[in-house]
């Protein structure tokens, strides 16, 4: 398929556009940017030069990819990247910044959906099939897993981790880690139950779901999980808990089991 570029768009030499890429009015694509086949760059959108993105991404008007990190000590000459997978949607006003670390990357996976004015800061990692609702903002070095839903206006402190299949309630402030498979919300934020709908949609049901329910109860009581059947989901949870955490873990709502 041919590449289509609106006459008012500005595409610098040495930008790499795959087959079928379309570039809308007044969009800017800087030299060095790599945009995969079938991607759509909307009106007034900006793709800076240190962006490498895969196929079939949709960038809506006024979204900006690969801008300078919001770090007052950052040297703009630093070589760093924003790397993006395939099939993502970036709605109006979305921003994602490249990394602060030399040769490092801010990373966004595939098939994610980022709503209006959401933001991914420098050195973050976002997994696959994750959704950011309007005005979500994550600070530097945050790690977000796969199949996560972040409700509107959620704000995440730098260096926090959000585990896969978690749901964060809208307007929640996150300043510690969020467990995989859980729902979290409130002020202060607390885990309050399993993400049952998301888990069942992912095919995690029956005995697998019973094991996660038991794990949730044990974690609330600060007891080890070794007594449980080693399902794939439990092993993932145990490995996640064993990984380094710079922020610690949000607690639990005190509800009856």
Q: How far apart are CA 51 and CA 237, in angstroms?
A: 32
Catalytic one of 24, 123, 151, 191: 123
Q: How far apart are CA 133 and CA 152, in angstroms?
A: 5
Catalytic one of 38, 93, 140, 163: 140
Please tell me what DSSP assigns to residue 61: T
Burial class (CB in 10 A: 0-12, 13-18, 19+), 1: exposed
Active site residue 122: yes
Catalytic one of 60, 122, 191, 250: 122
- Token pair 């570039």 is at which residue? 23
Both tokens of 174, joined, read 């996150």
List CB contacts of 203: < 8 A, sequence separation 6 or more. Answer: none
Active site residue 123: yes
Active site residue 140: yes
Give the rounded distance of the alpha carbon of 68 from its chain centre.
18
Residue 100 region by backbone torsions, left for phi larger than 0, else alpha for psi between -120 and 50, else beta: alpha
Active-site amino acid positions = 122-123, 140
């Amino acid at each position: 398929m041919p590449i289509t570029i609106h006459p008012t768009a500005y595409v610098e030499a040495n930008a790499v556009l795959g087959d079928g890429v379309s570039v809308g009015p007044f969009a800017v694509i800087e030299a060095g940017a790599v945009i995969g086949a079938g991607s759509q760059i909307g009106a007034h959108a900006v793709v800076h030069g240190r962006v490498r993105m895969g196929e079939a991404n949709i960038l809506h008007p006024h979204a900006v990819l690969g801008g300078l990190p919001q770090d007052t000590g950052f040297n703009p000459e630093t070589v760093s990247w924003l790397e993006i997978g395939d099939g993502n949607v970036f709605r109006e006003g979305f921003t994602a910044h490249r990394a602060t670390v030399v040769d490092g990357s801010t990373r966004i996976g595939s098939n994610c959906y980022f709503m209006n004015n959401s933001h991914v800061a420098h050195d973050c990692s976002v997994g696959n099939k994750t959704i950011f609702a309007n005005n979500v903002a994550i600070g530097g070095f945050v790690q977000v897993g796969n199949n996560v839903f972040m409700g509107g206006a959620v704000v995440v402190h730098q260096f926090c981790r959000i585990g896969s299949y978690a749901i964060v309630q809208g307007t929640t402030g996150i300043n510690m880690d969020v467990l995989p498979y859980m729902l979290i919300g409130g002020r202060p934020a607390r885990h309050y139950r399993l993400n049952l709908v998301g888990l069942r949609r992912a095919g995690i049901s029956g005995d697998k779901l019973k094991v996660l329910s038991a794990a949730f109860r044990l974690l609330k009581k600060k007891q080890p999980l070794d007594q449980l059947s080693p399902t794939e989901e439990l092993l993932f949870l145990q490995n996640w808990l064993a990984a380094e955490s710079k922020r610690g873990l949000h607690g639990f709502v005190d509800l009856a089991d």
